[in-house]
Structure 1
Amino acid sequence: MCRIFTICIAALLAGILPGRATPLATRSLSQLEQRLVEIDAELGQLAHYSLRSGIGSIGFRSIPHETANQTEWIEIQLDQETPLDEIVLVPTIRRDTQEGFQADGFPDEFRILAGTADHLSGTVLGEYRSADGILPREAPLVIPAKGILASWIRIEATRLSQRAFDGKHVFQLSEVLLFSGGENMALRQPVKVSSNHPERADSAWNVRYLVDGHTPYLMDAAQGLQSVAYASPSGKQPVLALDLGESVPLSRIHLHALEQSDTVPQAFAGDLGIPKNLRIEGANQPDFSDAIPLLETRQESVNDTGPIMMWRIPETPCRHIRIFDATPNTLDPASNTSRIGFAEIELFSKGRNVALGKTVKNDLPPRGRALSALTDGRNFYGNILPVRDWLNELARRHALETERPLVVEQLNLRYARQKATLHRMSWLAALLVAAVAFTILIDRMLRLHQIARIRERFAADLHDELGANLHAIGLLGDLAKDAVHSPDELIETVDEIRALTERSGAAARHCADMQQADIFGKLPDDMRRTARRIMADVEYTISIEGEAMLEKLKPRTKADLFLFYKESLVNISRHSGATKVAIELNANREAIHLTITDNGLGLEGDIPSSLKRRARLLGGHVTTSTSESGGTCIALKLKPIKFRFRN
């Protein structure tokens, strides 16, 4: 009983009923892989779909319809009001050439009602539509009844599906089982239907086959060893007798049919070993002096037999059981070819098989197959399960086999994404390596360029600053000679030479990065001082406007501007032969203009390279032209763009 409820709960949680499965897209890759392992492990523990072959009863079929929107119903009457735990609908099975075995004529939309004699309208236990995804299937559909008290159950199909062979819309079912605990309360109960397809009396379609306990499946459990069923030799048939060890109240009998053969097609129609007139008696005395009939049934056709034949009987206390064929034998026993045999005999008392493991005897000398196979709890496929457990395992298998391809599909999608991501990451890694290499190359080139610029600036600074200073020292030396007889003037000139020498030393120490050297004061003062030194023997004028703007220049810009100015004066002093020089510096937000005009010999050829180089370092533009006096006019235009100013 505990196993039954465990399977029911697992079935509900795992999605036997449609719409209960957890969305797979929300699960992680590891969860999907773990889920696939769990599915495969659980499938290995569940019963298999093994379908019976040969001929036999099929089940119920309604009259055919041309359209799907038709209503057909089945109503099963119970002996009394009974609490129901579960309803199992077993579909009629067909073989599809494309999809394999599938339900045939199982309704697309239906509902299940349960009621009592006092509640004729009933309570809806479940309602299912096409979108619920219960089809396709070959497994039973398990529906929880939640312990509802019922004396009747109705299955109402409101939209029919097509049967395969002619496309007509019908309502077909192989079996309906109503479980209260482990008991199938629908077994061989009266059934009412809305319509019944007209068939011959011996047809495999009949409403009574809906509750005869015969399903299209063979009980093929996933566990247990094979047991070869007992079958008597031809001739006189034995009486099978069991001693249960004590008197117990019997309420249900299961006889498992003899497996016919493992060949295809099978050798017999399916009734091999089943007595034509089966009689089962119970007694409490070993000589059966107090025998009571428990079951007597006559086999009219092969449709009356199935893999498991089940009967519910009035509860009868007994200890001894005997099973035999009650048909009078008028033939010579030697010529009698009939046989009696079963895969298993199950006798139930309070839901428990009390025949399990009991000794079976007969009234013939022992020969042929062992009688112990009749009560060993196994059949040709392994262990024999309780019917409810078995059908739940088939339903559970359907749920897992429906889920498994979805999990595999999602895993393949994730693996494809991982592969694509890995591919992209490989490309990104390659690009990153290339970018790093390119960055290193660019950095090296920039460093080389920077070194070149430093060398160029070093040479320019060394040339412009020290060269100009040495030239000024030379001029001051000449002035010192002329002032040898004027001590005050001589001392002043020597002091100038001394200051200029110290400045040259500082410039030499810092010429690689002169903007960091504290060798300049205010740019206008330095320009005036330099003009006085270099233009010592020349008449000159100097005009500076926008001194506040000049102070906002960055140190490097001021240094370069000053060195350009100094180099221009040195060139005029050395080469022009000028006697007059005019210097104008105008600075504003728009531009800085430096103009130096002389009345010398004029400029021969292009602009001196030292001035071009300094203008380039400044980022300015230098031009030369002939002045009105015939000399040279040097003009530098520098736009004070943002990076040339200090914040």
Structure 2
Amino acid sequence: MLDFISQILHKKNGVLWLPFVLSLASCFSNVSHAVEFENQSLNGLETRLAEIDQRLGSLAQMSLRTGDGAIGYRSNRHSNADATEWVEIDLEQIYLIDQIVLTPVIWRDFQKGFTTDAFPLQFRILAGTESDPKGRILAEYDAQRAAPQGMGIAPVIIPIEPTAASWVRIEATQLSLRTFDQYYAFELSELLIFSGATNVALHQPVKAPNQPQSRLKRLSASWSKSYLVDGSVPYLMNSSTGERSISYLSRPMDQLTKGKTTTAFFNVDLGTSYPIEQINLHAIEKGNTVPQSNMDGAGTPPAFSIEGANNPDFSDAIVLVDYTEHLTSSDEPIMMWDVPDTNCRYIRLSVANNERITPDFQIGFAEIELIANAQNVALGKEFTSNIAPRHEASSRSIKALTDGRNLYGDILPMHNWLEQLAERHRLETERPLILAEIGHRYAQQKSNLRVMTWLLAAAVAAICFTILIGRNIRVKQAAQIKERFAADLHDELGANLHTISLLSDLARDSVDERDELIGLLDEMRIMSERSGKAARYCTNILEAEELCEDLQDEIEKMSRRLLADIQYTLNFKGKTELGTLRTKRRIDLYLFYKESLVNIIRHSGASEVTIDISASMNRVQFVITDNGSGTTEIPPSLARRARLLKAKITTDTPVEGGTSITLNLKRT
């Protein structure tokens, strides 16, 4: 707890400042819980939500009192918020105080539900001793920082550094409106000052600015500065833990007269002597119906006394409490008295049968707590009484007086109870913020999932489209390969075979001329070897990259072989640029040229052929002209080869006759 407090409080000019992190509902936290939700993971938020839900299940419930009773302190009214009001508690001796609790006045708003009324927007807490009348500031509070989302109805818990003080003052420097008349005022239901677990402000003298007598007469009996320290808070102790217990209820008081006594006694033996410092009486429960039922003539008696002694016959009895009911006290769920430390073993509560108690009145309490050293030493000890329970076998047994439980479960120490109420408010304020952030994260995830779904659908469509395009490309490539194989087989092997055929004819004619025959046979061998290379190229072009390494030389050799009986002219321009062509293009150009010559030999009957080949870095052009029979149609084999080259082919008929074929290839 101290580590957490150190995070939410810091020194400012020697003053303990209560910044935005102080919640009106928490002793050591704030409305926002100082959590930057946007920096937490979704798993972290869900874990925090589970922790909050688990913790809320173990905290006291916020249950409000009903009926009438003391409300608290109300200051003078003002027409502006900047007026200053104050209250001062005289502790009558020096205590080491470490916590101050302010419980607000609660107003029932018909639109907003229960809200605080006239709780100061700004105040500071001062404390000192009799020798230090000015004191020093222990803490300052600013509602705009402490409760930016609005105040709750839980107590304001202010932990402070342990400070020796005999008086504590609350100075309200900025007031808020009270609801019923829209004037500015300073209202508090209860002010508790803790030294450890003890409320040292209980029933101590209270100082406050004087109020006009006319105003005091108009104030309800429910308002008094003494009610600021009477121990009465606007909440019911509903711990929500432990088993419930039904309050003790006696038989009517007229049963005493039959026993010739007029006083009812409730005695307890604590087993040893304890320094009793505080006595708490818990009233019997009211019905849980709406409206609540009230047991007339039953409950806390209007007058009684409590004595302590060390002798069982109370011969040394000391009066600890002498109580007479006030107008506003009848509905208080817990009545508290601080008593001077008195060592007692035996305690007796006496109720005299007098004119204020009707004959049919039934005495009833939910619990009697005897506090010594901040512990309830009566817990588990059994009271005895001279007046029997309402029914002997009833659940309203006298054992209920010291079982540590009420109708809602376990009875908690006052400071623990108020801290739990404050923590519950803080967690209930934090919880919807976490839920909203989780909802936002889920919405983001849903949006992201929707986007991812669309992206996945797009990716699947893209994959399908890619597969389809790839398939079409492969089909096209297969068609191109098939076409190229057909073209290569036709242009290369066909031309080579035709050349071999021509060489065979020449060899037959030269059978009597040995030297010429040997040359022809050598040519035939070269063509056979070339055909083998071409065949390998058709199956794997990478194995035939040595083809057409020198395109001009290959064209010249082919021209000599095929045009041996025809007069031809071969012109080259740009040999260097031809050499920069890719191997595949060089082979395609070579095969185009060879097929052009084969077509001339087979079909044109030409006697003269002119070839002009030019190359640059941007284009390559072949112009092949013969004086044969002439044609305007592009031979299919040449058109196919041009298509493989992605080149443009045209034919023309010169004036002097014959055919001119032009191939234009753009370099990329």
TM-score, with length taken from structure 1: 0.92
Q: Structure 1 residue 307 and structure 2 residue 333: aligned?
A: yes
Greater alpha carbon shift after TM alignment, 586-595 vs 374-383: 586-595
Structure 1 residue 180: deviation in Å?
0.5
- Of the three residues 112, 122, 126, the one matched with 1:113 is 126
Aligned to 1:259: 285
Q: Structure 1 residue 360 and structure 2 residue 376: aligned?
A: no
Structure 1 residue 383: deviation in Å?
0.9
Structure 2 Cα separation of the partners of residues 14 and 29 of structure 1: 28
Aligned to 1:595: 623
SS at match of 1:238: strand
Aligned to 1:463: 490
Q: Is the contact made by 1:240 and 1:362 (CA closer than 8 Å) also made in structure 2?
A: yes
Q: Is the contact made by 2:246 and 2:406 (CA closer than 8 Å) also made in structure 1?
A: yes
Deviations 1:396-451 (A, max 9, x none): 11111111111111222222222233333333333333333222222221111111
Q: Structure 1 residue 169 and structure 2 residue 192: aligned?
A: no
Cα 1:571–1:198, aligned 2, differ >3 Å: closer, same or farther?
A: farther
Structure 1 residue 493: deviation in Å?
1.3
Structure 1 Cα separation of the partners of residues 200 and 28 of structure 2: 25
Deviations 1:309-336 (A, max 9, x none): 111111111211111235x7259x9x62
Structure 1 residue 547: deviation in Å?
1.9
Deviations 1:219-244 (A, max 9, x none): 11121222111222323451211211
Aligned to 1:204: 222
Structure 1 residue 208: deviation in Å?
1.3
Alignment of 1:29-68 (within 5 A): 29-68=42-81
Greater alpha carbon shift after TM alignment, 514-523 vs 553-562: 514-523
Q: Structure 1 residue 504 and structure 2 residue 531: aligned?
A: yes
- Of the three residues 180, 184, 190, the one matched with 2:199 is 184
Structure 2 Cα separation of the partners of residues 453 and 167 of structure 1: 95
Q: Is the contact made by 1:113 and 1:126 (CA closer than 8 Å) also made in structure 2?
A: no
Structure 2 Cα separation of the partners of residues 182 and 53 of structure 1: 27
Aligned to 1:608: 635
Q: Is the contact made by 2:31 and 2:426 (CA closer than 8 Å) also made in structure 1?
A: no
Q: Structure 1 residue 91 and structure 2 residue 104: aligned?
A: yes
Structure 2 Cα separation of the partners of residues 435 and 488 of structure 1: 69
Aligned to 2:231: 213
Structure 1 residue 480: deviation in Å?
2.4
- Of the three residues 591, 594, 597, the one matched with 1:566 is 594
Q: Structure 1 residue 533 and structure 2 residue 547: aligned?
A: no
Q: Is the contact made by 2:548 and 2:590 (CA closer than 8 Å) also made in structure 1?
A: no
Tell me how many residue pairs correspond in the alignment. Answer: 634
Alignment of 1:13-412 (within 5 A): 16-18=29-31, 20-119=33-132, 120-133=134-147, 135-194=150-209, 198-200=216-218, 203-236=221-254, 238-268=264-294, 272-303=298-329, 306-325=332-351, 329-330=354-355, 336-365=359-388, 367-368=390-391, 369-412=396-439
Cα 1:151–1:20, aligned 2, differ >3 Å: closer, same or farther?
A: farther
Read off the aligned partner of 1:251 and give its amino acid letter.
Answer: E
Structure 1 Cα separation of the partners of residues 628 and 580 of structure 2: 34
Structure 1 residue 177: deviation in Å?
0.5
Deviations 1:284-325 (A, max 9, x none): 111211111112132221346511111111111121111123
Q: Identity of counterpart residues, as a percentage?
A: 48
Aligned to 2:577: 549
Q: Is the contact made by 2:250 and 2:388 (CA closer than 8 Å) also made in structure 1?
A: no
Cα 1:487–1:476, aligned 2, differ >3 Å: closer, same or farther?
A: same
SS at match of 2:519: helix
SS at match of 1:233: strand
Q: Is the contact made by 2:68 and 2:331 (CA closer than 8 Å) also made in structure 1?
A: no
SS at match of 2:479: helix
Q: Is the contact made by 2:5 and 2:29 (CA closer than 8 Å) also made in structure 1?
A: no
Structure 1 residue 515: deviation in Å?
5.5
- Of the three residues 618, 622, 627, the one matched with 2:645 is 618
**Runs of 5+ unmatched residues, structure 1:** 642-647
Q: Structure 1 residue 520 and structure 2 residue 581: aligned?
A: no
Cα 1:318–1:515, aligned 2, differ >3 Å: closer, same or farther?
A: closer
Structure 1 Cα separation of the partners of residues 183 and 218 of structure 2: 20
Aligned to 2:13: none
Read off the aligned partner of 2:373 and give its amino acid letter.
Answer: K
SS at match of 2:251: coil
Aligned to 2:260: none
Deviations 1:35-71 (A, max 9, x none): 1111111111111111110111111122333433333
Aligned to 2:477: 450
Greater alpha carbon shift after TM alignment, 578-587 vs 165-174: 165-174
Q: Is the contact made by 2:558 and 2:594 (CA closer than 8 Å) also made in structure 1?
A: yes
Aligned to 1:644: none
Q: Is the contact made by 1:515 and 1:556 (CA closer than 8 Å) also made in structure 2?
A: no
SS at match of 2:94: strand
Structure 1 residue 161: deviation in Å?
2.5
Deviations 1:445-483 (A, max 9, x none): 111111100000011111111222122223323332443
Structure 1 Cα separation of the partners of residues 563 and 3 of structure 2: 112
Q: Is the contact made by 1:346 and 1:375 (CA closer than 8 Å) also made in structure 2?
A: yes
Deviations 1:181-214 (A, max 9, x none): 1110111112223465645475212221111100
Read off the aligned partner of 2:440 and give its amino acid letter.
Answer: L
Aligned to 1:645: none
Cα 1:635–1:15, aligned 2, differ >3 Å: closer, same or farther?
A: farther
SS at match of 2:299: coil
Structure 1 residue 502: deviation in Å?
2.1
Structure 1 residue 8: deviation in Å?
8.3
Structure 2 Cα separation of the partners of residues 477 and 351 of structure 1: 131
Structure 2 Cα separation of the partners of residues 74 and 143 of structure 1: 17
Q: Is the contact made by 1:270 and 1:305 (CA closer than 8 Å) also made in structure 2?
A: no
Alignment of 1:470-489 (within 5 A): 470-489=497-516
Greater alpha carbon shift after TM alignment, 424-433 vs 379-388: 424-433
Greater alpha carbon shift after TM alignment, 258-267 vs 447-456: 258-267
Read off the aligned partner of 2:537 and give its amino acid letter.
Answer: H
SS at match of 1:302: coil
Cα 1:607–1:563, aligned 2, differ >3 Å: closer, same or farther?
A: same
Structure 1 residue 157: deviation in Å?
2.4
Structure 2 Cα separation of the partners of residues 336 and 271 of structure 1: 9
